[in-house]
Amino acid sequence: MIELLKQVRVIDPLAKTDQIADVAIASGFIQAIEQEICDLPTDSQQHDCRGLILGPGLIDLYSHSGEPGFEERETIASLKRAAFKGGFTRLAILPDTNPPVDNPGGLALLRKASEISRDSAPNLYFWGALTINIQGQQMTELAELAAAGVVGFADGQPVNNLALLRRILEYLKPLQKPVALWPKDRNLASNGVMREGADSIRLGLPGNPAISETSALAALLEVVAATETPVHLMRISTARSVELIRDAKARGLPITASTTWMHLLLDTSAISSYNPALRLEPPLGNPRDRTALIAGVREGVIDAIAIDHAPYTYEEKTVAFGEAPPGAIGLELALPLLWQELVETGYLSAWQLWRSLSTQPAHCLQQEPPAPTVGARAELVLFDPLKKWTVDTQTLESRSQNTPWLGQTLTGRVLQIWN
Q: Which residues are catalytic?
A: 308
Helix axes 239-250, 211-227, angle to 10 degrees: 20
- Is the Cβ–Cβ distance between 22 and 141 less than 8 Å? no
Q: Within 13 A of 173's CA, how many CA atoms are on the CB side?
A: 14
Query: What residues contact 231, with CB distance under 8 A and at least 6 apart?
Result: 169, 179, 180, 181, 220, 224, 254, 255, 256
Three-state SS annotation for the chain: CEEEEEEEEEEECCCCEEEEEEEEEECCEEEEEECCCCCCCCCCEEEECCCCEEEECEEEEEECCCCCCCCCCCCHHHHHHHHHHHCEEEEEECCCCCCCCCCHHHHHHHHHHHHHCCCCCCEEEEEECCEHHHCCCCECCHHHHHHHCCCEECCCCCCCCHHHHHHHHHHHHHHCCCEEECCCCHHHHCCCCEECCHHHHHHCCCEECCHHHHHHHHHHHHHHHHHCCCEEECCCCCHHHHHHHHHHHHCCCCEEEEEEHHHHHCCHHHHHHCCHHHCCCCCCCCHHHHHHHHHHHHHCCCCEEECCCCCCCHHHHCCCHHHCCCCCCCCCCHHHHHHHHHHCCCCCCHHHHHHHHHHHHHHHCCCCCCCCCCCCECCEEEEEEEEEEECCCCCCCCCCCCCCCCCCEEEEEEEEEEC
